[in-house]
C-alpha cells in the first residue's frame, strides 16, 4: 500500500483550502495524501507589524523547517509569501494554475466618498505595497495596520470605525468570504506571484517532486517566475512597496512593474511587451531599467529609513 504524501500547511482557513486543493489534485493523479498542520510565526504573532518581524519567509519558515526535518513531504505556500531564494535543500515542485490576481476593497462606507477631495478616509491594511499605492492615489487618507487571517481581518473591519480594508481577491473568493460590499481595485498592481500557489519539496526527494509535476501549470509558472525575478533584482520583500504582474495573451508576455516610496509620494513604473519565446529574463531586464529610471533612489531611501518605518507592513 502506498504511503500517503504528507502535505504541510498553516492552520488558517485559506491555507487549509490551498493544501486541500493540492491533496485533491494529487488524488486525481492517483496519489494519496494527508494534511499535516504546522503553526507559523506570522500566525502566532498577530500584533507586530510584518516589517518588524524580519518579513522574508515569515509565513513559510516553519513549514520549510518541517520539510527539511522530514516531518512533511511537501509544503504548500501562497507564492507571494515565499522568498525569491528558497532555503538550501528545497526545490519548487509545482505552481498551480493561478487564481484572481487583484486586490479588493471591502468597505463600511460608500467608496464614492473617497473620491471627494476633502474627505479623509480611514483604510486598513498590513501591506506596505497596498498602503503606498493607496496613498499615491489618495495622499490625504489615513492608513491603519490590520493583521490576522482573512476571517480575523473581516471581523475587525466590522468592529472598527474604518471606512474600508484591502484584501487579496483570491483569498476572499477561494473560501467564499467575499462580501457584497466590496469592489475590485484593478488600478492597484498586485504583489509578485499574487494569486499563485506553490508546492515545495526537498531537493533530494525525487518521489515528491515527480508526483507533483502533473500539478504544475506552465503558463502560471512562467509568469510568476518573471515577476519574482523582477522582485529579486530590486532586492525587495514585504518591507518594500514593489508590485509586478506578468500575463500571457496571444503568445505575448505583457509585464507591468513598479516601486513606490513608503509614503506613496514617489513612484517609478515600467511596462514591457515581448513575444513569449523571447521573454526569458524579462523580469531582470525590466528591474534593471526601472532602477536606472529612478527606482534605485527610492529603494536606497527605503533602506536608509532603517528597519522601523512608521508605516504599515
| C-alpha cell recorded at residue 66 | 518541517
Which residues neighbour 52 within 8 Å (Cβ) at sequence distance 6 or greater?
Answer: 307, 308
3-state secondary structure of 231: helix
Which residues neighbour 81 within 8 Å (Cβ) at sequence distance 6 or greater?
Answer: 42, 57, 58, 59, 60
Sheet holding 5-9, edge to edge: 33-37, 5-9, 74-78, 197-202, 90-95
Cα dist from 110 to 56, 63, 83, 116, 292, whole Å: 35, 40, 37, 11, 40
What distance in Å separates the CA atoms of residue 173 and residue 110, rounded to the nearest whole number?
Answer: 21
List strand residue ranges (DSSP E) for 196-251, in order.
197-202, 242-249
What distance in Å separates the CA atoms of residue 67 and residue 72, rounded to the nearest whole number?
Answer: 5
Instruction: Give yes or no: 81 in active site.
Output: yes
Give, as one character, the DSSP assignment of residue 266: -
Which residues neighbour 80 within 8 Å (Cβ) at sequence distance 6 or greater?
Answer: 190, 191, 192, 193, 194, 195, 196
| C-alpha cell recorded at residue 117 | 477631495
What distance in Å separates the CA atoms of residue 58 and residue 202, rounded to the nearest whole number?
Answer: 19
Catalytic residue among 81, 103, 163, 205: 81
| Cross-strand pairs, 199 | 76, 94
Query: Residue 165 — φ and ψ, nearest 5°?
Result: -140, 155
* Helices 218-233, 282-290: inter-axial angle, 10-degree rounding: 30
Active site residues: 81
Amino acid at each position: 500500500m502506498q504511503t500517503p504524501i504528507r502535505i504541510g500547511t498553516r492552520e488558517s482557513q485559506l491555507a487549509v483550502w490551498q493544501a486541500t486543493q493540492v491533496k485533491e489534485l494529487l488524488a486525481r493523479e492517483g496519489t494519496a495524501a494527508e494534511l499535516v498542520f504546522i503553526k507559523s510565526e506570522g500566525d502566532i504573532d498577530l500584533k507586530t507589524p510584518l516589517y518588524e518581524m524580519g518579513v522574508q519567509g515569515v509565513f513559510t519558515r516553519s513549514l520549510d523547517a518541517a520539510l527539511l526535518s522530514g516531518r512533511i513531504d511537501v509544503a504548500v505556500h501562497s507564492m507571494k509569501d515565499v522568498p525569491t531564494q528558497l532555503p538550501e535543500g528545497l526545490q519548487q515542485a509545482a505552481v498551480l494554475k493561478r487564481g484572481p490576481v487583484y486586490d479588493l476593497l471591502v468597505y463600511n462606507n460608500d467608496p464614492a466618498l473617497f473620491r471627494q477631495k476633502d474627505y479623509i478616509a480611514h483604510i486598513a491594511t498590513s501591506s506596505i505595497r497596498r498602503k503606498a499605492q493607496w496613498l499615491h492615489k489618495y495622499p490625504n487618507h489615513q492608513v491603519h495596520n490590520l493583521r490576522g487571517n482573512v476571517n480575523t481581518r473581516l471581523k475587525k473591519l466590522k468592529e472598527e470605525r474604518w471606512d474600508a480594508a484591502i484584501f487579496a481577491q483570491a483569498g476572499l473568493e477561494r473560501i467564499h468570504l467575499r462580501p457584497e460590499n466590496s469592489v475590485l481595485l484593478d488600478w492597484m498592481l498586485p504583489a509578485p506571484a499574487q494569486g499563485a500557489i506553490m508546492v515545495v519539496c526537498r531537493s533530494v526527494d525525487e518521489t515528491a517532486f515527480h508526483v507533483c509535476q502533473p500539478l504544475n501549470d506552465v503558463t502560471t509558472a512562467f509568469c510568476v517566475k518573471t515577476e519574482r525575478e523582477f522582485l529579486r533584482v530590486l532586492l525587495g520583500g514585504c518591507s518594500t512597496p514593489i508590485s509586478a504582474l506578468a500575463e500571457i495573451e496571444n503568445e505575448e508576455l505583457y509585464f507591468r512593474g513598479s516601486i513606490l516610496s513608503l509614503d506613496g509620494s514617489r513612484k517609478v513604473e515600467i511596462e514591457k511587451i515581448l513575444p513569449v519565446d523571447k521573454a526569458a529574463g524579462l523580469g531582470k531586464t525590466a528591474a534593471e531599467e526601472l532602477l536606472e529610471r529612478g527606482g534605485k533612489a527610492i529603494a536606497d531611501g527605503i533602506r536608509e529609513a532603517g528597519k522601523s518605518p512608521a508605516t504599515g507592513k
